[in-house]
Amino acid sequence: MDSGRLENIFVASAAFVMMSSAYLIKLKRKRRRRWWMVSLNKSRDRYSATHMLQDLKREPSGKFENFCRMSAVDFEFLLNKIGPLITKRDTNKRKAIPVQETFCVALRFFAIGDSFKILSYLCKMSPQTVSTCVFEECNASC
């Protein structure tokens, strides 16, 4: 082989190694989160969907039936049937969302068909959490 051809192979090999190492470094970088939870959702401790459901159950005006599209008795019956399948445990990093809230979010989605974004504002959860609640509810009821 002549020296010009060897030089071209060497340059191409070096370029390949440089490009592949740059690509691997780019893959290893992960996006750093700026926060764990949006501040709007952090106020869930003060007033959450659980509190709202309790207030609606106490109110004799039928607002619970309008909100959940079923009576409180039917809600509790279904919650007792499906609750054990969708219940989450608290971890060291965060508290689990109560099963009443996840069930209520899924019911509201099925009854009204609101978007995950709108339900996230209503129940103080991220849209991703709302979608997880809905899909877990679907899997549990099958």
Closest by Cα among 73, 136, 63, 74 to 106: 136
- In order of 66, 90, 104, 116, the CA distances from 75 in angstroms are 12, 24, 9, 21
**Model pLDDT, residue 77:** 93
Cβ-in-10-Å burial (0-12, 13-18, 19+) of 53 comes to: buried
pTM, two decimal places: 0.63
Cβ neighbour number for residue 115 with a 10 Å cutoff: 11
**Model pLDDT, residue 64:** 84
| Residue 59 token pair | 């109110």
- Long-range CB contacts (< 8 A, 24+ apart) of 34-37? 36/94, 37/126
**Model pLDDT, residue 118:** 87
**Model pLDDT, residue 8:** 74
The length of the chain, given as a count of residues: 142
| Cα gap 27→37, rounded to integer Å | 25
Mean confidence (pLDDT) of the chain: 79
What pLDDT, in 10s, does the model give residues 24-38? 666 566 666 665 556
**31 or 82, which is more confident:** 82
**Model pLDDT, residue 91:** 86
What pLDDT, in 10s, does the model give residues 50-79? 777 888 888 888 888 888 888 889 989 999
Residue showing tokens 């959702």: 41
What amino acid is encoded at 44 in this protein?
R
Residues 140, 82 contacting (CB under 8 angstroms)? yes
